[in-house]
Amino acid sequence: MRIKICGITQIQQGQEIAALGATTLGFICVKRSPRYVTPEQIKIIIQNLPAEIEKIGIFADHQPPEIASVVATANLTGVQLHGAESPDFCAQLRQIISSKIELIKAFRIKTAESLNDTEAYINYVDTLLLDAYHPQMLGGTGKTIDWQDLQQFNPTLPWMLAGGLTPDNVSDALSRLQPDGIDLSSGVERSPGDKDMFKVAQLFEQLRLKINDYSHSN
């Protein structure tokens, strides 16, 4: 399973989280976010990470040339769009970034009907990410989605579950749903951008237990 820890701001924490088992690290490129890091800071953190770790930049309503510039400067392997970007926008962005750069579209799920919004993006992005709705915040809210609403969600693209996941509830979430990956930020933090390494270790221990339970039951 893909395990993405988002809101990385420190070199050492990035290294430790990768060593614990994260497959993907996320970097916030939205200046108004308390977890914001500059392209130059991202580049330095990435230089200290294993090559196999996926490095995703999170953007919200940026223009395609700006996104492409950050991707090139920071050496990102993927882009996550967390704003009101349209399918046409995704198509435009794809034209100016390498086809090797993963394109993730995030959706803030307010009700079960919100899932219908994902259908228009199927041919324009590589991965879907479902996050909790908050009227002011784009992500890192600590709020969970109503998992009941997601039980029939079975898109043709890989999808990731975000929104209020913590070491305490991740096992429950994965008992109810079968995402291709999970995405955590505030659920493993001391404060915005400062990860709690004890909580991160707890997360991976819970995931190991979950995988062992699954293996023994099959």
Phi, psi angles (nearest 5°) of residue 139: -175, 175
Say what the pLDDT of residue 218 is. Answer: 44
Catalytic residues: 6, 131
Q: How many Cβ atoms sit within 10 Å of the Cβ of residue 6?
A: 24
Closest C-alpha to 81, from 61, 53, 100:
61
Say what the pLDDT of residue 136 is. Answer: 52
Reported in sequence order, the residue ranges of 93-134 that DSSP labels E, i.e. its strands, are 102-109, 127-132
Rounded distance, CA 92 to CA 110, Å?
27
Domain that holds residue 153: 2-217
- Is the pTM of the predicted complex or chain greater than 0.85? yes
Judged by DSSP in three states, 135 sits in coil
Q: Is 217 exposed, middle or buried (0-12, 13-18, 19+ CB in 10 A)?
A: exposed
Domain of 58: which CATH number?
3.20.20.70
Say what the pLDDT of residue 216 is. Answer: 46
Contact criterion met (CB below 8 Å) for 166 and 132: no
Say what the pLDDT of residue 111 is. Answer: 83
Say what the pLDDT of residue 135 is. Answer: 45
Domain count, the chain: 1
Half-sphere CA count of 59, side-chain side, radius 13 A: 26
Say what the pLDDT of residue 133 is. Answer: 59
Integer Rg of the chain from CA: 16
pLDDT in tens, 50-84: 999 999 999 999 999 999 999 999 999 999 999 99
Residue ranges of the chain whose pLDDT lies below 50 = 135, 137, 139-140, 214-216, 218
